[in-house]
A and B are shown apart, each in its own frame.
Chain A
Amino acid sequence: AQSVTQLGSHVSVSEGALVLLRCNYSSSVPPYLFWYVQYPNQGLQLLLKYTSAATLVKGINGFEAEFKKSETSFHLTKPSAHMSDAAEYFCAVSPGYSSASKIIFGSGTRLSIRP
């Protein structure tokens, strides 16, 4: 079975500060990992995905994540937070990147940005 655990349901940082959202995964097979962002009352937008290529993945809006197998982690970072980054972020895992694969979502982390 696969699962993801997001540490911290709410993270608050100052504008311009480093953003770090934590995600640990559990998978019996090499996982495919995703980070999604959700703005209020909207659907999900894919930020980035890891599909067994480079372990450092760069996404949209200046976000990136690093796959660390030894730590079973896939933390999301951004060097400098912007007010527009305030949203809900979901880490997700899939057993494969194919039409038959389901995506399992973490519980989400709400990111707040202080002026």
Chain B
Amino acid sequence: GAVVSQHPSWVICKSGTSVKIECRSLDFQATTMFWYRQFPKQSLMLMATSNEGSKATYEQGVEKDKFLINHASLTLSTLTVTSAHPEDSSFYICSARGGLAGVWRSDEQFFGPGTRLTVL
């Protein structure tokens, strides 16, 4: 239980294009999802927190218009990197928190496997 998937696992795109990354909770309802980015050999930096049906809360220094986050359902959040540039190349990881109504609920964050974005 508590499996989080991300799609795609890797993507290569040209500079100036937009890329959408999906984060899904496969067997539970994710009331909150988090998006992180990780540069090579560095730690995870929280980009934004999103609650289902609400606007995402972005961390300081993260451009809202560049990193569009949508959390339209309890099992899906998307991160769209708009007009991507080489400096946006990174490993993007999502995590989800929630539970299964009437069965279990946890405040633990369950992490997806990550998406490696390379912008040429």
Chain A: residues with CB nearer than 8 A to chain B? 36, 41-46, 49, 90, 97-99, 101-108, 110
CA distance A98 to B31 in the complex (A): 12
Task: Check A43–B42 contact: CB distance below 8 A.
Answer: no
Query: Can you list 29 residue pairs at the A/B interface with Cβ under 8 Å?
Result: A36-B111, A41-B113, A41-B114, A42-B113, A43-B6, A43-B112, A43-B113, A43-B114, A44-B93, A44-B95, A44-B111, A46-B108, A90-B43, A90-B44, A97-B107, A98-B107, A99-B31, A99-B32, A99-B97, A99-B107, A102-B34, A102-B46, A103-B109, A104-B46, A105-B43, A105-B45, A107-B42, A108-B41, A110-B41
CB of B4 within 8 Å of the partner chain: yes
Taking CB as reference atom, which chain A residue is nearest B113?
A43
Interface magnitude class on chain B: 20 to 34
**For chain A, what secondary structure do more than half of its interface residues adopt (helix, strand, loop), or is it mixed?**
loop
Residues of B within 8 A of A46 (CB): 108
B interface vs A, CB < 8 Å? Answer: 4, 6, 31-32, 34, 41-46, 49, 91, 93, 95, 97, 107-109, 111-114, 116
Pairwise interchain contact B4-A43, C-beta atoms closer than 8 A: yes
Q: Which residues of B contact A42 (CB under 8 A)?
A: 113-114
From B59, which residue of chain A is reached at the shortest CB distance? A102
Nearest CB in chain B to that of A97: its residue: B107
